[in-house]
Amino acid sequence: MTALFITLHYVFSIAWFVVIASAVFSWLYAFQVVNPRNQLVASFANALYRLTEPALSPIRRFMPDLGGIDISPIVLLIILFFLEQFMHTTIEPLVGVLH
What are the residue ranges spanned by the domains of the chain?
A: 2-98
Name residue 38's amino acid: N
- Residue 98 has a pLDDT of 62
Please list the pLDDT of the chain residue by residue as tens digits (99 residues): 788 999 999 999 999 999 999 999 999 998 999 998 999 999 999 999 999 999 999 999 999 888 888 999 999 999 999 999 999 999 988 887 665
The tally of CA atoms less than 13 A away on the side-chain side of residue 55 is: 19
- Residue 97 has a pLDDT of 65
How many Å apart are CA 80 and CA 39, to the nearest integer?
31
Name residue 91's amino acid: I
CA 46 to chain centre: 15
The tally of CA atoms less than 13 A away on the side-chain side of residue 33 is: 8
Q: Give me the helix-helix angle, 2-30 and 72-86, nearest 10°.
A: 170
Name residue 45's amino acid: A
